[in-house]
Amino acid sequence: MPQAPQQPPHRLRDYLFVGLQYLLPHHLLSALMFRITRSRLPWFKDLLIRQVIRLYRVEMSEAANPDPAAYSSFNDFFTRALATDARPLDRDPAAILCPADGTLSQAGVITDGRIFQAKGRDYSLLELLGGDAEWAERFASGSFATVYLSPRDYHRVHMPAPGALRRMLHVPGRLFSVNPATTRLVPRLFARNERVVSLFETEQGPLAVILVGAIFVASMDTVWAGSITPGPRDQVRCRDYGEDAATKLPRGAEMGRFNMGSTVILLFAKDRARWSDDLQPGGHLRMGERIGILDRG
């Protein structure tokens, strides 16, 4: 079982950064960022792209199109495709694939309906799933993994295992940052932020791939529903996919993407996922690599 490393001490600037977020108009700022990142003014979008490449040391040689000026907008660059050989998939069909480039925040077992967030912090499985008690029961005592995507990472999300989509929920909420400092300090962070919950059936039981929004993330995309933007602030939007019309996606297939960075949470049923021994919080991950094994029992 992966063990959490020693947490760094909280710093005054972390408290100030988190405290400011409680006061900010999250959705207004995100709507503004939506417009900015889709500007097609050549000088403006090229400036933004160059600055992000420089500040975050983005590896453009991995991109399907390595020319920064070729992207029509900053968002087009941010959600860029990779070269076909940039992320080979683990060949073992029982391997759980990492769904995205990023850093492992936590991985472990869902205990008493609670998911570990950081030292002294956890949150409710039922709340994470937008109050869907039937699906929450199916993940009871199951396994979870949380992957944080930084601005330098590849921002498309892929299937960790083959699955058939059964339900999608868009859960309204806040848009706190999901960086490590905020994760340590904001209670129930991932159950408070806006999120898109995709629920699949697999040969090993249920699978959830949850895209968690964050500050400046004005929308998230799925390959079956396109761009999903905020709706009523207090209403969970649900769409079911019948068995005959279910969207079936193979392992490694793109299932969605973030328009700006955030976090992916995976959920598996009890005794269906065994995380790799070398999977450690804080470790950098690449999409397609093995992070665990599915129990086909």
Cα(29)–Cα(216) distance, integer angstroms = 6
Beta bridge partners, 267, equal 144, 208
The reply to whether 129 and 60 lie within a common domain is no
| pLDDT at position 222 | 94
CB atoms within 10 A of CB 244: 5
- Chain segment 82-102, per-residue pLDDT in tens: 999 999 999 999 999 999 999
Q: Are residues 191 and 273 in the same domain?
A: yes
Q: Is residue 112 part of a domain?
A: yes
pLDDT at position 218 is 58
Residue 198 contacts residue 165 (beta carbons within 8 Å): yes
Q: Are residues 134 and 74 in the same domain?
A: no
Lowest-confidence region among 94-103, 162-171, 188-197, 230-239: 230-239
Cβ atoms 156, 81 nearer than 8 A = yes
Q: Residue 175 — very low, low, confident or very high, per pLDDT cuts 50/70/90?
A: confident
Domains held by the chain: number: 2
pLDDT tens-digit series, residues 251-281: 999 999 987 768 999 999 999 999 999 999 9
Q: How would residue 178 be classed by pLDDT, with cut points 50, 70 and 90?
A: confident
Q: 21 lies in which domain range?
A: 12-78
d(CA 253, CA 4): 30
- The pLDDT of residue 124: 97
pTM for the model: 0.91
SS3 240: strand
Rounded Cα gap, residues 281 and 259, in angstroms: 25
- Residue-level pLDDT at 247: 83
Dist. CA 208–CA 181, nearest whole Å: 25
**Do residues 49 and 161 share a domain?**
no
257 Rama sector, left if φ>0, alpha if ψ -120 to 50, beta otherwise: beta
Indicate if 208 and 252 belong to the same structural domain: yes
Same-domain status, 56 and 171: no
Q: Is the pLDDT of residue 31 over 70?
A: yes
Say if residue 54 is in the same domain as residue 106.
Answer: no
264 contacts: CB under 8 Å, gap ≥ 6: 99, 100, 102, 146, 147, 149, 157, 209, 210, 211, 212
Annotated catalytic residues are 101, 158, 262
Whether 134 and 42 share a structural domain: no
